[in-house]
Structure 1
Amino acid sequence: MTDKNDDSPKEVSLPVIIDNETPVDMDLVDYFTLGSDDSSPTILNFSRILSSLICNHNQERVRICTGYFSPAVWRIVGDAFSSLPASDGEPVFRMLIGSEIQKASSEEFQQLFQDFVNDLSSLDLDYNLKEHIVDLIHFLERDDVEVGLQTSPFVHAKLYCFPDAAFVGSSNFTINGLTRNTELNLPTTDPQTIHALRSWFDFHFAHSNKSYKEKLLQALRDCKLGTREWTPYEVFLKIIFEFHRPSLIATKREEAIIDLAEFQREGVQHLIQIIDEFGGAMLADAVGLGKSFQALEVMDRLRRVDPSFRRTLVVCPAQLRENWAKLFDLYGLAAKICSMEALSRDIPRGSFDMIVIDESHNFRNRSINRYRNLMTFLGRNPDIKVLLLTATPINTSLNDLYSQLKIITKGVEAYQPLIDIGIANLRDYFKAVKKEEEDILRLKEHLIVTRSRREIRYRQFVLHQDLFLPDGTPLRFPERELQTVSYSVTPDSSQEFYSKIGEIIYDLLFPQYNLISYRTDLDPDEKEETASVNATAMIKILFLKRLESSIPAFVSSLEIQHRLLSLFLDALANGLILNAQVAREVMKKALEGDVDDLTDEEAISFLNDLIQKYDAGEDDAVQLFKAAKESEGTYDFPQLKRDISHDQSLIEELLALCKGVISPKDHKLAALKETINHYLQSPQTRDKKILIFSYYKDTIKYLYDSLNEELKDRFSIRSSLIFGGVGSKTRTNIVRRFAPKSNTAADLVEGRYREAFIEEPIQPEDEIDILFSTDVLSEGQNLQDAMVLINYDLHWNPVRLIQRIGRIDRLKSLHEKVFIHNFFPEQGLESLLQLVERLENRLQLIDEIIEIDGAVMGETEQTADQRTRQSDLQRIQQADESILDDLEARIELATLEASKKHLLDMINKLTYNHFNKMPLGIHSGMKKGRYSGVMVALREKRPGKRDINLWGFEPDEPKKFEGFPLIDGILTNKRVIERIILCDEKEDRYLPEEANIRGELFRRVVNISRRLQTRLHKKKVLDQFTPKTTPRGNKKFYKYIRLAISKGSIKRKEAQRFLDFLKSQPLKNIMQDVGETIKEFDKAMSKLEKQLKSKNIQEREEAKSQLEPVVSRFLAKIYRYFDRYQIQTPDSNEEKTESLKHEIELVGFLRIYSEE
């Protein structure tokens, strides 16, 4: 051997070929002997040869040309290469990386670097590998180590050149290239060949981009196994960034029929992605953010992408039909429009490609006709795409959201697209959410697009981001100011008045709604099972709320009830019972007809009209009451008469009390006059429009009748009123006259169709200045011409408050500030609330036992958190404007709002790309709060679909989390985890474990990650396609068919189509169409099933012989129905073969130490 620094050739024995696979005992291989401490390998891999050349053969310089370099290769060759002796002269290590890019400054260069960063992110979280990566960083930091990137021409060669040996072949400088792949590398020890190869390398290296070494070092230092010490705030922001990434990616501008703002284009893009994957989506943007326009663009985009996409059905409240019809005409889109009220009566005919449901929260009650008819329609159109629009997906409880999302799944609980994201059963998932064992955000991420008003306001007021339409039109929200109007019910004590009235109402029996309790032929248990007992409590609550709204309107209701009781007594005298079923049917008719959604007011008004028709002898009313003929069963007539007389006496007492209070002056009405006069008498606000809301038609009519003439005579002010009974054309005309600037082409129509909008302008003398309205206008109307909103009664349901404010607090508002006045009694509020709560506590199960519309329930279903409501009312009364943000957050499904504000702030400062380039898998630690543990954020990559975000926090002390459900010792509720990891720029890094415990933290993170993955892919998800997950109500019929197959009465292939349907869709979806067929089959099979279990052989044989014709006839009818509506059933297991498991990425993790 010569001197180490001598470049003269040395004698080195090499294999003839190197392919990572060839066994050493093959004759053609003349291998060299490895170090004495090594046993001869059975397989020659390239890495051992390279390491041996450096360690055992004094090859102290190396030139490498590779198409790709993987840092993980340092695990197998790092020790050898790091041992290369330092040199003050010629570098000991040069690496030339090939690249197809043409210019060092091009975007491709950045992409190449990003690919390298992504590969670093995919490295295993291994403490030993981390040590190798740190060694690699130290090695590359040496001055005698150089790296170049070949930019032009493209170099595809693979070369490993030492002083006395060289290899040319196919192996890249990666683990696979040196050990695992079947490669082909030819060695040489010929000096002339080595010299030529070295010259070739040096020529290309001289023309390479040598700054790439610093880029590599930067990526290595920053990666999850690198040396950079990330701050807690940086890791927190990266985790939040990846969670919100889908909503942050800028959308490319495509040809559109409507000019949309950036956030609206983002919404359209996300909705289309969700619809493609899940068959439906929900757009739950806050009020005033343009949901209708986004829906139109989604329809048009789907139509352009799919030529077969033709027919769309829009279902909306009756008062919005004309709005939709006008928009479809203007934008040239074809659609059929069906009102919700019409859907209650009939099912739309024909086949459709898409259904858009505007104000979908009106389908929160699954027991009403409109919901049942909708499900039948979806059963006829199983492949239809669904788009739900609502600003209030949660009205009173999570059940509201569950009911709406079942529309997307067509009633299927085990819905395959949801199974793919780890939700095996929708109903079970919502049960788990209620118990806080599951996180609603998982579903929200994948099915719901929502942007809150707070987010838009935050961008506008904090980040100073003006929102513009593409034509430059600014979009800004006005500021909001809450004001309280206090009034006294009586000159003396409002509290005493409310208490006295409330106690009398509490003592009312309402026998007409509780007739079951007077049956003498039923035992007590049967009486308790009926819903009518609870109906009396509901009516009392509604009466108390009407009392607060308006005493004159309350008096009107009392008079109606008194008249109704007299009618009952007259019927009893004739031996007739006007039973509770008739009363409920009357209420349901009022509910589901073309009337307000406020069932208490409308039902009582409907009864009043009906009674007047009955007295006048009109045939339809007479026939309806005659339908309440003498009922089955027997009644305690004397007691019933006594109780009706008892209620009549109490109502007469109530009438006397109330009439005494409002005569000669209605103090609440006087307070309203004073509020209106405040604006009309000021020159600055005299021309500003005022919108006045009440829940009740009688209240609105009373206010209008009391003030209209005075407003006209004293101020020359024109006023009008709208309630449920006002026809749609009249209503549209009133809205245009009240808000002409918000309901013209410039506001309703955007884009190239704007000029096509031709309408007669509203003349100033025809404009309406003050509008009195029920909540018929609280949904979907543009009324931002108005500057003042007055809520005349209490907000028993805060959703209505937000919906009302949303009529005037909208993008494109004409005012910089809007004023919201809320009426509150000076005294007695607490007494009134207590009376309502006493009754509400009797109604906890009412939605399960009485079939009545959710609009009634919306006013009585506050028992879940009455203290929250009381707190809300107090904050509204105190004009605490933050209550509006809190209420919006509660109903808008806002997602991790606190952390998103931090993120938007930093994106505004550092740009989106800063966070996009941050590597995955980074970590940090901090000392904060009272909880200690490890938070891990994972992401499951799903090509072509939205990724799944998995968060888990494993506490050090689980006892501190006894109030939270820990699954496998891990908390997964993202909202709770957000509060634990929330921090700011001032938070110091604190991570002592990393320095003194080898690998323990990494192993813990890996363990948490495995448990999170197991939770996502638990066995019940993978094995969900078994009869046990057949939709409820289908199992019995699944059993019937299996019985017939087992008895040989029918072949499985004949029944397979129906069996597949039973697994995928609820039978109740088609009950309205083929219900009689199904009931007949059920009855026949139930009888045959019993006969087949008989001890009598002849009876069993007879039953077996009847099985085949019964089942065959049934299947023939069902298949004719399937063919008629082209109902496709999924082939067995065809959709289920796709693996649920995809690549899992570690986004980041935080070690948190308690300050205690």
Structure 2
Amino acid sequence: MLVGARVLLVTATPVHNRIADLFHLFRLFLRDHDLTALGVPSLCRAARGDADPHAVAATAARLSVSRSRQRVHAGYGTGPAVLSFPERAVDEAMRLGAAPDAELHQLVTGIGRLEAGGEAAALFRMLLLSQLASSLPAFRASLDRYEAFLELGVAAAAQGRTLGRRDFRRLFPAGSSDLQLAFFPLVLPPGPAAATERDRDMVRRLRALAASPHDPKADALARLLDGRAGKTVVFVQSRATVHHLMRRLRGHRLAAVTGERGWFGSGSAGREEVLRAFAPHAQGAPPPARALETDVLVATDLLSEGLNLQDASRVIHYDLPWSPARLEQRVGRIDRAGSPHGRIETVTFLPPQSLADALTMERRLVAKRRLQARAGAGPDGLDWCDRLYGLAARARSPATPGACAAVPSAEPAVVLVVRLGGLVEGVVVTDAGARADPARATRLLEQAAAAEPAPFDRAALERGIRRAAPLLRGRLAALEDARWRAAHRDHLSRRLIPWVLAAGRRAATRRRHADLARLDALVSRLALGMSAGEELLLEELLARRGPLTVRDVLAWHERLPRLGTGAEAPQVELVAAIVLG
């Protein structure tokens, strides 16, 4: 659909783990080698995390319109529609379990002794631990499925067959957990499944331990809701926990939503009806009937994307999700421009230490957040490109190519703006060396724009250029390599190139010059990187029934947008330079 088309891609949360996640999206529009000049020789490798994280972050900023809250306040604070956001209070944390500490410790220990499933055993244990962190009803529901898995494995072994994906999906239907259950069938051991009697006995013991009527976590939630005014959204992972909280919080004006279904108390309702009753202002609905007035909405993460619920002033993370992006999506339901609240708050329920250690959930979230921050995916990591456009728009007149200037600064540096193979890069040179850093270059250019001119030091510029020369030569070499062979070639291209070259030799022998030119262009297409859509079209061609001919592959190639000629060797050009010091 995107091949050769002009498309605007809008996405709410493109980064879940690291900024490189964006490169899966960039491959929809760009060929694999298109960003070589910016230090990213392969989009495929960058998406896997095999690229300089600073180059990845800087490149992502060039290709994205993603403004931080701070940038919106600073750059869009005036005009006919002034954007205002609520103040976000410091997150409050509570560490509580869904069972008394002694019982919880026994449950965690017992789960750690389950062994069925071969390589999938660890994933089963993680699923059970995550459900235990949510609520005892959620844990019991998953334990029932696990026991059914054991019994099904025994039956399959008696029949001499292997458990398949259909067996697994019948026990663990889609949407039963936020865990990536689709991966379980891929790691189930081949051959008949073996369920030990020790595992089956442990399941019976775990079920008895999980029968406790006590729930310190739900009790703490009830006390919190009793003591604070304002509408609240409570996010949970499991549907079983949704129904558990509806029973435990009967004294509150409460509603719930899971997917397309909703409830007022014990009565079922449509999802939209529940949302209109809970957030009539945000949903553009009239006030609900008194009997349907709702102060607390319990919801699964299916509700955490895209919806406006800013009538609420509080989000409670009753269960921790598997990624920091999901946390932001949840809070984003109420932390929105034009909120009627001056201040909003978040409360996070953390699992007790013994369970947290078993899950290592918190450490995962912290590690992912740190990785995002290092890669430039923090609150203002992508703003520099937007600020640079603003700086250019304020210029009285465009500078001539190669313009140089100097300004006084307490931060000595040379900023080189260079054009490499048609793309422009910002290089910052300091005593520590030369580095492609357009974000820092933008900050230094902003300083220079606000400073008075100083006498130009040509020797300082020449020293900066000499220090930057190895970096620029490396980029030029990568560009030269990309003209003839992509840094990442898929297996389809590697299979087809020798076949096309053989056809080219036959065309040359027969002096069919037009055919030779067409085949030469096809080899260039296969040797260079392709966009994701181009690769899919090639895969569809090769998957067709019947013999494949060179004419078929030529037709595929000639239906695609033309490649650049690439005849000229890549050059480096100084666009502008600023000496600060």
Q: 2:65 aligns with which of 449, 452, 458?
A: 449
Q: C-alpha displacement at 1:935, in angstroms?
A: 3.0
Contact 2:426/2:441 (<8 A) preserved: no
Query: In the alignment, what sits opposite 1:658?
Result: 210
Q: Cα deviation per residue 1:111-167 (whole Å; 9 max; x = unaligned)?
A: xxxxxxxxxxxxxxxxxxxxxxxxxxxxxxxxxxxxxxxxxxxxxxxxxxxxxxxxx
Q: 1:953 aligns with which of 429, 441, 465?
A: 429
Query: In the alignment, what sits opposite 1:483?
Result: 92
Q: Aligned pair in 2 of structure 1 residues 560, 763: CA closer, same or farther (>3 Å)?
A: same
Query: In the alignment, what sits opposite 2:265?
Result: none
Query: In the alignment, what sits opposite 2:115?
Result: 509
| Distance of 1:833 and 1:915 partners within structure 2 | 59
| Distance of 1:1001 and 1:580 partners within structure 2 | 69
Q: Cα deviation per residue 1:612-645 (whole Å; 9 max; x = unaligned)?
A: xxxxxxxxxxxxxxxxxxx99865x7xx24x2x2
Q: Aligned pair in 2 of structure 1 residues 938, 432: CA closer, same or farther (>3 Å)?
A: farther
Q: C-alpha displacement at 1:799, in angstroms?
A: 1.6
TM-score (norm. length: structure 1): 0.42
1:726 aligns with 2:156: no
How many residue pairs are counted as aligned between the two chains?
554
Give the 3-state SS of the residue equivalent to 1:382 in structure 2.
Answer: coil
Query: In the alignment, what sits opposite 2:246?
Result: 704
Amino acid corresponding to residue 814 of structure 1 in structure 2: P
Q: C-alpha displacement at 1:545, in angstroms?
A: 1.8
Query: In the alignment, what sits opposite 1:735?
Result: 275
Amino acid corresponding to residue 283 of structure 2 in structure 1: N
Query: In the alignment, what sits opposite 1:936?
Result: 414
Q: Aligned pair in 2 of structure 1 residues 677, 1029: CA closer, same or farther (>3 Å)?
A: closer
Q: Aligned pair in 2 of structure 1 residues 566, 596: CA closer, same or farther (>3 Å)?
A: closer
Q: C-alpha displacement at 1:893, in angstroms?
A: 6.6
Task: Write the mapping of 1:377-776 to structure 2, written as runs, cut at 5 A.
Answer: 378=1, 381-409=2-30, 412-415=31-34, 418-419=35-36, 423-428=40-45, 434-436=51-53, 439-457=55-73, 466=77, 470=80, 472=81, 474-481=82-89, 482-487=91-96, 489-491=98-100, 494=101, 497-511=103-117, 514=118, 533=119, 535-573=120-158, 575-579=159-163, 581-582=165-166, 590-591=173-174, 595=175, 598-599=178-179, 635=192, 640-641=194-195, 643=196, 645-659=197-211, 662-663=212-213, 665-679=214-228, 685=229, 688-707=230-249, 709-711=250-252, 717=253, 719-724=254-259, 726=261, 730-744=270-284, 761=286, 763-765=288-290, 766-776=292-302
Q: C-alpha displacement at 1:1012, in angstroms?
A: 4.9
Contact 1:736/1:743 (<8 A) preserved: yes
Q: C-alpha displacement at 1:701, in angstroms?
A: 2.2
Contact 1:393/1:893 (<8 A) preserved: no
1:801 aligns with 2:327: yes
Contact 1:809/1:818 (<8 A) preserved: yes
Give the 3-state SS of the residue equivalent to 1:439 in structure 2.
Answer: helix
Q: Cα deviation per residue 1:706-728 (whole Å; 9 max; x = unaligned)?
A: 33x433xxxxx3x322223639x
| Distance of 2:220 and 2:40 partners within structure 1 | 54
Query: In the alignment, what sits opposite 1:922?
Result: 406
1:971 aligns with 2:435: yes
1:1037 aligns with 2:505: no
Contact 1:509/1:647 (<8 A) preserved: yes
Task: Write the mapping of 1:1052-1067 to structure 2, written as runs, cut at 5 A.
Answer: 1052-1053=516-517, 1055=519, 1058-1059=522-523, 1061-1063=525-527, 1065=530
1:1006 aligns with 2:465: yes
Amino acid corresponding to residue 922 of structure 1 in structure 2: A
Give the 3-state SS of the residue equivalent to 2:126 in structure 1.
Answer: helix
Q: Aligned pair in 2 of structure 1 residues 1117, 585: CA closer, same or farther (>3 Å)?
A: farther
| Distance of 2:331 and 2:182 partners within structure 1 | 23
Q: C-alpha displacement at 1:507, in angstroms?
A: 1.8
| Distance of 1:504 and 1:819 partners within structure 2 | 37
Amino acid corresponding to residue 561 of structure 1 in structure 2: Y
Q: Aligned pair in 2 of structure 1 residues 887, 424: CA closer, same or farther (>3 Å)?
A: closer
Task: Write the mapping of 1:70-89 to structure 2, written as runs, cut at 5 A.
Answer: none
Amino acid corresponding to residue 417 of structure 2 in structure 1: R
Contact 1:487/1:668 (<8 A) preserved: yes
Q: Aligned pair in 2 of structure 1 residues 500, 836: CA closer, same or farther (>3 Å)?
A: same
Q: Aligned pair in 2 of structure 1 residues 983, 646: CA closer, same or farther (>3 Å)?
A: farther
Q: Cα deviation per residue 1:299-357 (whole Å; 9 max; x = unaligned)?
A: xxxxxxxxxxxxxxxxxxxxxxxxxxxxxxxxxxxxxxxxxxxxxxxxxxxxxxxxxxx
Higher relative contact order (CA 8 A, sep 6+): 2
Q: C-alpha displacement at 1:422, in angstroms?
A: 6.2
Percent of aligned positions that are identical: 20
Contact 2:69/2:379 (<8 A) preserved: no
Q: Aligned pair in 2 of structure 1 residues 892, 1075: CA closer, same or farther (>3 Å)?
A: farther
Amino acid corresponding to residue 274 of structure 2 in structure 1: I
| Distance of 2:49 and 2:190 partners within structure 1 | 44
Give the 3-state SS of the residue equivalent to 1:1046 in structure 2.
Answer: helix
Q: 2:543 aligns with which of 1072, 1076, 1089?
A: 1076
Contact 1:478/1:810 (<8 A) preserved: yes
1:789 aligns with 2:340: no
Q: 1:811 aligns with which of 324, 327, 337?
A: 337
Q: Aligned pair in 2 of structure 1 residues 1037, 782: CA closer, same or farther (>3 Å)?
A: same
Q: C-alpha displacement at 1:431, in angstroms?
A: 7.2
Give the 3-state SS of the residue equivalent to 1:921 in structure 2.
Answer: strand
Q: C-alpha displacement at 1:1057, in angstroms?
A: 6.6
Q: C-alpha displacement at 1:1038, in angstroms?
A: 1.0
Structure 2: runs of 5+ lacking an equivalent: 263-268
Q: Cα deviation per residue 1:697-747 (whole Å; 9 max; x = unaligned)?
A: 22112212333x433xxxxx3x322223639x9333432332222123xxx
Query: In the alignment, what sits opposite 1:1105?
Result: none
Give the 3-state SS of the residue equivalent to 2:17 in structure 1.
Answer: coil
Amino acid corresponding to residue 815 of structure 1 in structure 2: H
Q: Aligned pair in 2 of structure 1 residues 1024, 443: CA closer, same or farther (>3 Å)?
A: same
Q: Cα deviation per residue 1:648-701 (whole Å; 9 max; x = unaligned)?
A: 211222222222xx32x322111111112223xxxxx3xx32211112222112
1:894 aligns with 2:381: yes
| Distance of 1:1059 and 1:870 partners within structure 2 | 41
Amino acid corresponding to residue 939 of structure 1 in structure 2: V
Query: In the alignment, what sits opposite 2:559?
Result: 1128
Task: Write the mapping of 1:100-249 to structure 2, written as runs, cut at 5 A.
Answer: none
Q: Aligned pair in 2 of structure 1 residues 794, 893: CA closer, same or farther (>3 Å)?
A: same
Contact 1:742/1:783 (<8 A) preserved: yes
| Distance of 2:41 and 2:218 partners within structure 1 | 55
Contact 2:19/2:60 (<8 A) preserved: no
Q: 1:822 aligns with which of 327, 345, 348?
A: 348
Amino acid corresponding to residue 720 of structure 1 in structure 2: A
| Distance of 2:61 and 2:99 partners within structure 1 | 52
| Distance of 1:388 and 1:802 partners within structure 2 | 21
Q: 1:1019 aligns with which of 449, 455, 477?
A: 477
Amino acid corresponding to residue 483 of structure 2 in structure 1: F
